Structure 1
Amino acid sequence: MTFKILTDSTADLDEKWAQENDVELIGLTITLDDITYETVGPNRLTSDRLLEAMQEGGQPTTSQVNVGQFEEVFRRHAQNGDDLLYLAFSSVLSGTYQSAVMARDMILDEHPEAVIEIVDTLAAAGGEGYLSILAAEARDQGKSLAKTKAMIEDILPRLRTYFLVDDLYHLMRGGRLSKSSAIIGSLINIKPLLWLDDSGKLVPLAKIRGRKKAIKEMVLYATQDIGHSTAIVAYANDLEAAENLKEQLLTVNGIEQVLIMPLGPVISTHVGPGTLAVFTIGEKAR
């Protein structure tokens, strides 16, 4: 029996791809200039519009998916008799996962026969998207929900996530990084490299002088231990840099394919313009 896959707008998946591959997206929201925007659907706030506003001094904030939204989605699938696998944005970075767990418990009281499996991916952006792509491929190859969930839970500790940001101010402003950690972001020509550690927390990894050198360092970190031939590059309003980063990754032994995707508006809110990110899967847990 096949099953449905749900993930968040923070997975930064292209909506057309998601529709074609039967992956449902549920959206966090963004408030900018006192207006709240959706991040999924035809009227969604785009990353380009958001980043332009940030460069002009805008200070957007994000809100997690609430319990009621999950209830609505879970109830619909339960009533349709769909088994559901939800791949959730890291619980360390958002309360969205906890909202989903609460909603699932409520729906299971109404529909005890329902199958609603939730995985805390401890991932974000292209990392969460990567796991969603692999889950969709596994389902389409005939794997059961249980086997697909087990596969994702095996992979997620080995998922590597690296962010190279221009300025740590946005992460500090959103509460994702302490003020003391953010001070390095103000140093002249110092490019902060961050990663998601084994607990899913975003932490500084290195302080590197110069963007070119920082990108080379990020490639070295991301490819020390290759367990999957695909890598993902994500970017905030700098496609040329993303293309150059892709070419560097393709020179690495073991990397055969590099997918490029823009950072979505939720993640862009926290990392800011000029950010580059790399996502790889290693052989060993991070």
Structure 2
Amino acid sequence: MSFKIITDSTADLPDSYVAEHDIIVLGMTVTVGDDSYETVGEGRLTNDTLLAEIAKGKKVQTAQVNSGQFLEVFKASAQAGEEVLYLAFSSGLSGTYQSSVMAREMALEEFPEAKITVFDTLAAASGEGFIVEEVVKLREAGHSVEEVVSQLEHLSTHLQSLFMVDDLNHLALGGRISKAVAVMGTMANIKPLLYVDKPGTLQQAGRVRGKKKALNSLIKDTLEGMDTAYSKVIVSYSGEDATAQEIKACFLEAGVQEVEVRPLSPTIVTHTGAGTIAIFSMGRNPRA
């Protein structure tokens, strides 16, 4: 194996995939009320537990991967003589990328010959995972880190990440919209359509009345913007997966060759709540 791939738990990669491709996944921490939970390993926080606690009115918040966690992994790889590539959760949504940069500098002070590359995917959830999977394919085809990085900018800037949040109150708690707008929007059955922009931040693309219309809009926008060279879509959800499975069927009927359904990670669900749908694909054009 030419280099080790590292990412974080927000990438929403299946455990089986992580094990098969020997990927290191670092976990965010989620605090629910007075209790803190890890998002990787045994006893990690599940969405069922998180959503049940949210329904009880518990306050929830997340903490980024800190520089100490990165330093430990970077030093271990340096001691083993492994070259590493860390694919980071968007710097527009978390300070995790900055923590990895600090840790890289500290590791190089002790191991100046170490080969440690960090890359800001400017993506979230299975959008980040989408990029990780493309990097795995490149690694398995024999590409070096330098060759992979030369292609990563295209992958990152062309990734389409479209979201529909069912519960406006979570956007209000996160400061994305005002509480007044959340109340009025809920009463009017308004569903905000969101996307991840070029700097990797979450932006509102529009508002649609009714969940069905909102989901149809996400499907339509995804299909219209897709790069046919990447006939792959990942549909992510929080709560029940029935809606996500219906969306998968729509994409398969439209001719998309590969469609996967995955749960959103607790880190993301903390900020979006239940009923969120996110659709990830590779676009023909760079994101705005």
TM-score (norm 1): 0.95
The separation in 2 between residues aligned to 1:256 and 1:187, in whole angstroms, is 39
SS of the equivalent of 1:223 reads helix
The separation in 2 between residues aligned to 1:156 and 1:181, in whole angstroms, is 35
How much has 1:49 moved relative to structure 2?
1.1
Q: How does 1:171-190 map to 2 (within 5 A)?
A: 171-175=171-175, 177-179=176-178, 183=182, 185-190=185-190
How much has 1:179 moved relative to structure 2?
2.4
The separation in 1 between residues aligned to 2:51 and 2:137, in whole angstroms, is 32
Are 2:232 and 1:230 aligned? yes
The separation in 1 between residues aligned to 2:15 and 2:172, in whole angstroms, is 29
The separation in 2 between residues aligned to 1:182 and 1:221, in whole angstroms, is 25
Tell which deviates more after alignment, 51-60 or 118-127. 51-60
| 1:222-244 CA distance string (max 9 Å, x none) | 12222110010000012110000
Taking a change above 3 Å as real, the CA distance of residues 78 and 273 of structure 1, as seen in their structure-2 partners, is same
Q: Which residue of 2 aligns with 1:267?
A: 268
Q: Which residue of 1 aligns with 2:247?
A: 245
Contact 1:91 1:122 in 2 (8 A): yes
* Root-mean-square deviation (Å): 1.5
Q: Which residue of 1 aligns with 2:217?
A: 217
Q: Which residue of 1 aligns with 2:156?
A: 156
Q: Which residue of 2 aligns with 1:84?
A: 84
How much has 1:27 moved relative to structure 2?
0.5
Q: Which residue of 1 aligns with 2:285?
A: 284
How much has 1:206 moved relative to structure 2?
1.4
TM-score (norm 2): 0.94
Q: Which residue of 2 aligns with 1:69?
A: 69
Contact 1:195 1:202 in 2 (8 A): yes
AA partner of residue 234 (structure 2): I
How much has 1:19 moved relative to structure 2?
1.3
Contact 1:88 1:120 in 2 (8 A): yes
The separation in 1 between residues aligned to 2:217 and 2:117, in whole angstroms, is 37
How much has 1:106 moved relative to structure 2?
0.7
How much has 1:247 moved relative to structure 2?
1.1
SS of the equivalent of 1:62 reads strand
How much has 1:180 moved relative to structure 2?
7.3
Identical pairs, percent: 44
The separation in 2 between residues aligned to 1:273 and 1:153, in whole angstroms, is 32
The separation in 2 between residues aligned to 1:30 and 1:122, in whole angstroms, is 21
SS of the equivalent of 2:195 reads strand
The number of residues matched between the two structures is 284
Contact 1:37 1:45 in 2 (8 A): yes
AA partner of residue 190 (structure 1): I
The separation in 1 between residues aligned to 2:106 and 2:73, in whole angstroms, is 12
Gaps of 5+ in 2: none
How much has 1:167 moved relative to structure 2?
1.7
| 1:176-235 CA distance string (max 9 Å, x none) | x24279536434211111111122110111111111111100111112222110010000
The separation in 1 between residues aligned to 2:171 and 2:104, in whole angstroms, is 30
| 1:81-109 CA distance string (max 9 Å, x none) | 11001000000100000000001011111
How much has 1:53 moved relative to structure 2?
1.4
The separation in 2 between residues aligned to 1:11 and 1:283, in whole angstroms, is 22
Contact 2:161 2:196 in 1 (8 A): yes
The separation in 1 between residues aligned to 2:221 and 2:10, in whole angstroms, is 23
